[in-house]
Structure 1
Amino acid sequence: MILTLSCPDRHGIVAAVSAFLLERDANISDAQQFGDASSATFFMRVVFEPADGDPEAAIRAAFAPLAERFAMDWTLRGSAPRRVMILTSKFDHCLADLLYRWRIDELPMQVTAVVSNHPREQIGHVDLGDLPFHHLPVSAADKPAQEAELLRLIEETGTELVVLARYMQILSDDLSRKLEGRCINIHHSFLPGFKGARPYHQAHARGVKVIGATAHYVTPDLDEGPIIEQDVERISHRDTPEDLIRKGRDIERRVLARAVRRHLEDRVLLHGTKTVVFED
């Protein structure tokens, strides 16, 4: 099981959590913590094996008074894989990479569906196998209805995480709010610079020496959600916008995969407009 928490920083938090698990004869296999001095906030992630016959519901109920005493914002999750829906458009590299990592058991998730605003035959060279696929075309006139259908699918399938794998549509403020903290986007730029459309062309016009990609949680503020993962690659004056796009595809797929995996493993804790990410 994985316990994550954040709370006002004070003495005794680690001792109290450790003592609680010891009393229940649980075995801690990994524990990480961080105290943010600027906000006096404490963060912790604990992986433990509960004692035989100690169900999650009982642990949760017993931990609640301790959590209340320390004013914790906390989660406790068992080993069941998260249910994930992947949204995409015509670009297939991020989708293909996520599905490959899922199939080799690198990403502990259950794919509930692949959704696109384009027909299946237009999504590159991806083998979807027997995964449920939904074509939800969208235009300015029918965007509210399309998003209502998308939200219905999310709720109907019990989806816990939505991944925008180069889904080239901007979610409405309303849908973004409903998915806050459980929707990850890959932006083909090193945010907060070069937001919006054609970021590689913007970067080329500015003569940048590195390009990057950013995986972040979706919020109503476009491309300004809490950042989970970023990476960069050096380029030169010889590189064309097409070279940047080619190199960028590789950065995008690995940045998104790392962000998704860290979310699935409960390594990402929200901290206002930022995140605390416990490395593996």
Structure 2
Amino acid sequence: MSVETIVEMNLKQPGNKIENRGRLLVKCPDKPGIVSVLSSFLLKHDSNIIESSQYSSDPENGTFFIRIEFHCENLMKKSKQMELDFKEIAANYSIDYYFAYGNERQRTAIFVSKEPHCLMELLWEWQNGDLDTDIVVVVSNHEDARGLVESFGIPFHYIPANKDIRKQVEEEQIRLMEDYEVDLLILARYMQILTSDFVSHFQNRIINIHHSFLPAFIGARPYERAFDRGVKLIGATSHYVTNDLDEGPIIEQDIERVDHRDDVIDLKKIGSRIERRVLTKAVKWHLENRIIVEGNKTIVFH
């Protein structure tokens, strides 16, 4: 089944009226009347609010965040004028904002090494129509996942990688991302460290899954280290990638209880289940524009 066929199937899911669905994300200094201003703006443009979530870091001198999902007939014909009209509001209230539209599907690349469980979860969710994106390419430093990926009709690129050839590898990867016009990169257990040059090309657009409940056991072999420490809880963390290893803004985390009966193999099996669901949630929330990055933290509107 090809990428195009699956995309067409996904767009035909019941109730998927994407052409008239919009999202508005706002960040600004908190002050009275902002919600009223935003609501009045949408009303003026004949838009009906479907979902609204907001947060203030401090009602007196804090920052206000809001995500509004709305329906508007003939939205794509009106969108340019809406954004033009919103500029004046943004200037008056010092608003950082972002409009997203339901029919503008993001193009996603997945990077993977040898362990396929996170990759498989993402492909299943995508095939079922539960991941609102076009997975346009999978990149790996091993050949192990080629058969799986190509069975979905997705291009697979094998690019051997190690620290000695990292610069030329990343140059090839960046070129590949540009060729495929990629919006989002997912590191689905891609076991290579990315350089600052690579990360700078995709700021807040690389999502990683770390097989540890960060900030515990940063770096390699976390399950072995957790076992040696005798932990009673293990977890996984999905975060945006920054130049600080495993210290980017956290999107989602989860845990499960373990005990002295569980050896390293058991911990890895339990951990893989956690990794799959944590990464999938983080990717879905990013694709649904539910995340605002604030410094090294995230505001996530579930």
TM-score, normalized by length of structure 1? 0.96
**C-alpha separation in 1, matches of 2:264 and 2:79:** 52
**C-alpha separation in 1, matches of 2:195 and 2:39:** 43
Asked if the contact 2:238–2:282 (Cα under 8 Å) also holds between the matched residues in 1, the reply is yes
Match of 2:116 among 92, 104, 108: 92
**Is 1:33 the equivalent of 2:57?**
no
SS in 2 for 1:167: coil
- In the TM superposition, residue 51 of structure 1 has moved relative to its aligned partner by 3.4
Asked if the contact 2:125–2:131 (Cα under 8 Å) also holds between the matched residues in 1, the reply is yes
Asked if the contact 2:162–2:192 (Cα under 8 Å) also holds between the matched residues in 1, the reply is no
RMSD: 1.4
Match of 2:138 in 1: 114
Q: How many residues align?
A: 277
Q: Which has a greater percent of helix?
A: 2
Asked if the contact 1:92–1:125 (Cα under 8 Å) also holds between the matched residues in 2, the reply is no
Q: Per-residue CA shift, 1:79-106, capped at 9, x if unaligned? A: 1221110000011000000000000011
Match of 1:103 in 2: 127
**Is 1:225 the equivalent of 2:228?**
no
* Runs of 4+ that moved beyond 2 A: 51-55, 123-129
**Is 1:151 the equivalent of 2:160?**
no
Alignment of structure 1 residues 206-217 onto 2, 5 Å: 206-217=229-240
Asked if the contact 2:138–2:149 (Cα under 8 Å) also holds between the matched residues in 1, the reply is no
Asked if the contact 2:199–2:243 (Cα under 8 Å) also holds between the matched residues in 1, the reply is yes
SS in 1 for 2:163: coil
Match of 1:68 in 2: 91
SS in 1 for 2:225: helix
Deviates more, 1:175-184 or 1:252-261: 175-184
- In the TM superposition, residue 127 of structure 1 has moved relative to its aligned partner by 4.5
SS in 2 for 1:225: coil
The letter of the residue matching 1:111 is I
SS in 1 for 2:299: strand
- In the TM superposition, residue 52 of structure 1 has moved relative to its aligned partner by 2.9
**C-alpha separation in 1, matches of 2:179 and 2:149:** 24
**Is 1:22 the equivalent of 2:46?**
no
TM-score, normalized by length of structure 2? 0.89
Q: Which runs of 5+ in 2 are unaligned?
A: 1-21
Match of 1:49 among 71, 95, 109: 71
**C-alpha separation in 2, matches of 1:213 and 1:141:** 29
**C-alpha separation in 2, matches of 1:87 and 1:257:** 14
The letter of the residue matching 1:114 is V
**Is 1:203 the equivalent of 2:226?**
yes
- In the TM superposition, residue 132 of structure 1 has moved relative to its aligned partner by 1.0
**Is 1:2 the equivalent of 2:26?**
no
The letter of the residue matching 1:90 is K
Q: Percent identity?
A: 44
**C-alpha separation in 2, matches of 1:202 and 1:69:** 53
Asked if the contact 1:190–1:232 (Cα under 8 Å) also holds between the matched residues in 2, the reply is yes
